[in-house]
Amino acid sequence: MTDKTILVTGGAGYIGSHVVRQLGGLGENIVVLDDLSTGFRRAVLHGELVVGNTGDVACLDKIFERFDVDTIMHFAARTIVPESVADPLRYYGNNTCATRMLLERAANAGVEHFVFSSTAAVYGIPEGGVAAETTPTEPINPYGLSKLMSEWMLRDLAAVSPLRHVTLRYFNVAGSDPEGRIGQSTPNATLLTKVACEAVVGKRESVSIFGTDYPTPDGTGVRDYIHVEDLADAHIKALCYLRDGGASTTLNCGYGHGYSVREVLNMVEQVAGCRLNVIEADRRDGDPPTLIAQAARIRETLGWEPALDDLEAIVASALNWEQRLAEDSWAA
Ligand code: UD1
């Protein structure tokens, strides 16, 4: 812990709010910048919330004037693959252009550390479905490209400035705070685990499987699902690494093994103790068949050890949160 402040963009969103909760628990000084377009005021459990957009220069400069920011954790982004296919410029504007403004103002303010939320979508369709950090980046959707361009800007800035970064490429994040205070709350969610849990609590009639003819063992898409608590812990470890003088690096955040859509839905049925109304549908645009992390580098570099590598635990916490949302007006 230091006297400095950590600026968390998107800290009212799903992953950002879990990281803020862990940072706050460690006694860190935090300022959250979030435009609340998909985030929730109530999700910010620590620090001060500034409502504003990451691309807003005046807002950023005001934050840098008021707070002694040494670290930025940059979550603010649009993250839905099919939405990026339908509205690419929104993704390049919100994700890429806004990140450029943030980097410019951060460099101007002398920020030393940057933890960037990137994505496995930068890999596109890696050979064999498994991606190492050295695997060529060939995104197949605008979301992945919007993040990859941000990675490049960060890399190039770090090469000519004192800024050091840890770029974290997230695989499929799921689950919620085990104590049930925060969770995935986005309306019109598209995430498989969220959609399936919404069906359990009666918010949806059915769950569609997008594609049953993929070259995977059961024909449905395979992903590396990582518990949001483990992912948040990776951010804490990245912060410690940078504070200890660690060099800029890019790390996959996944467990290194995957589950198919059918396996996830079966687990939801098992945990919920009910049957889902499952519909077999066409493939969704922009989806790779399989996406699994080569997950050794993050363990070696950060000493990160996942504590919740268990699909049942992931699904149980996601369902717990969905039941909470169904019972009270948390997200209203
Ligand atoms: C998620 C993330 C994306 C990240 C990617 C990394 C979000 C909103 N998306 O995307 O940012 O880059 O992981 O791998 O955070 N599926 C169904 N039915 C549904 C929903 C999904 O069959 O109703 C299938 C999809 O076709 C896919 C799998 O489930 O095979 C996972 O999809 P989803 O949960 O939407 O995540 P990704 O698109 O992989």
Ligand 1 centroid to residue 58 C-alpha, Å: 35
pLDDT in tens, 86-121: 999 999 999 999 999 999 999 999 999 999 999 999
Angstrom distance (rounded) from CA 70 to CA 243: 10
Architecture (CATH level 2) of domain 5-174+225-253? 3-Layer(aba) Sandwich (3.40)
Q: How far apart are the first and last CA of the chain?
A: 35
The finding on whether 208 has its CB within 6 A of some atom of ligand 1 is: yes
Active-site hit among 143, 225, 241, 259: 143
The finding on whether 81 has its CB within 6 A of some atom of ligand 1 is: yes
At 317, phi and psi to the nearest 5? -70, -35
pLDDT at 329: 75
Locus of tokens 């410690």: 240
Ligand 1, atom 13: closest residue by C-alpha: 172
Cβ neighbours around 38 below 10 Å, total: 20
pLDDT at 33: 98
**259 classed as catalytic:** no
* Whether the predicted pLDDT of 327 surpasses 90: no
pLDDT in tens, 190-199: 999 999 999 9
Q: Where are the beta strands (DSSP E) in 54-98?
A: 69-74
Q: What are the residue boundaries of the structural domains of the chain, listed by start? A: 5-174+225-253, 192-224+256-328
Work out the pLDDT band at 328, boundaries 50, 70, 90: confident
Angstrom distance (rounded) from CA 225 to CA 30: 28
Domains 5-174+225-253 and 192-224+256-328 alike in fold: no
The finding on whether 190 has its CB within 6 A of some atom of ligand 1 is: yes
pLDDT at 189: 86
pLDDT at 118: 98
DSSP 159-208: HTSS-EEEEEEE-EEE---TTSS-----TT---HHHHHHHHHTTS-S-EE
The answer to whether the Cα torsion of 167, 73, 183, 24 is positive or negative is: positive
Mutate to test the pocket of ligand 1, among 135, 222, 261, 267 (most ligand atoms within 8 A of CB): 261
pLDDT at 203: 94
pLDDT at 181: 92
Work out the pLDDT band at 286, boundaries 50, 70, 90: confident
Closest atom, ligand 1, to C-alpha of 144: 12
Report the pLDDT averaged over residues 294-298. Answer: 98
Q: Which percentage of the chain shows pLDDT scores above 90?
A: 92
pLDDT at 1: 62
pLDDT in tens, 145-179: 999 999 999 999 999 999 999 999 999 999 999 98
pLDDT at 177: 94
pLDDT in tens, 19-78: 999 999 999 999 999 999 999 999 999 999 999 999 999 999 999 999 999 999 999 999
Ligand 1 centroid to residue 155 C-alpha, Å: 27
Choice among 1-5, 190-194, 263-267 with the minimum mean pLDDT: 1-5
Ligand 1, atom 8: closest residue by C-alpha: 80
* Whether the predicted pLDDT of 13 surpasses 90: yes
pLDDT in tens, 209-252: 999 999 999 999 999 999 999 999 999 999 999 999 999 999 99
Beta strand 130-131 pairing with 29-34 = unpaired
CATH fold of 192-224+256-328, please?
UDP-galactose 4-epimerase; domain 1 (3.90.25)
Closest atom, ligand 1, to C-alpha of 119: 12
